[in-house]
Homo-oligomer: A and B are copies of this chain.
Amino acid sequence: MGTRERIVDAAEQVVREFGIVGATTKRIAAAAGCSEALLYKHFPGKESLLLAVLLERLPALGPALTRLRLAAGTGDVADHLTAFTLAALEFYTRAAGIAAGVLADPSLTEGFRTMLARSGSGPHLPILALADVIAGEQDRDRIDRKIDAGAAASMLMGACFHRANLSYYVDPPDDDATWAASIVRTLLRR
């Protein structure tokens, strides 16, 4: 395993254990068995290291979106969306700690904002990708055309993000699968 990989692994482990507040580059370097100088050679700042953890170590939304795209036009659209909802919920639940940590530190938020603007990426892109899939199914008359695809995607992803955050404070009254099915049913009015 290369140094870069070791550092990303160490960062994930340190964030899990100490929270993002306690995840200093000093602690991460120690866990990776390297110097802070070497850490900074691979990652210009804490933001880029945290982004690497988010993109490379968490169950990504990308594969779930790809599965949804590949299934478009076939089978039961509600089933596909329910499976995607569960994947999004799992992703946001694992990402919540790091996402919160970035927002809790104004200088980290600013660094992230700048980095995202430069790379043209951002946490809003999965909503756009989902809206695209929904619009495609509307073109095929598999989802009611009266729905605004963007609004529907906002609500589905937002419901997952919110539930992921809430689950850190209170236990949900229903299980995830039941909840996901009722979200999709209400959205598609099935």
A interface with B by C-beta (< 8 Å) = 18-21, 96-97, 99-107, 109, 112-113, 116-117, 122-124, 144, 146-148, 150-152, 154-163, 165-166, 168-170, 172, 179, 182-183, 185-187, 189
Contacts and interface: CB of A to CB of B under 8 A. Distances in A.
Contact of A148 (B152, B168, B170, B182): B182
A151 B162 CA distance: 12
Contacts of A109: 168-169
The listed residue with most B CB atoms (<10 A of its CB), out of A116, A144, A152, A155, is A155
Given A144-B189, A166-B123, A166-B124, A105 B21 contact: yes
Contacts of A117: 170
Given A161-B158, A189-B146, A169 B122 contact: yes
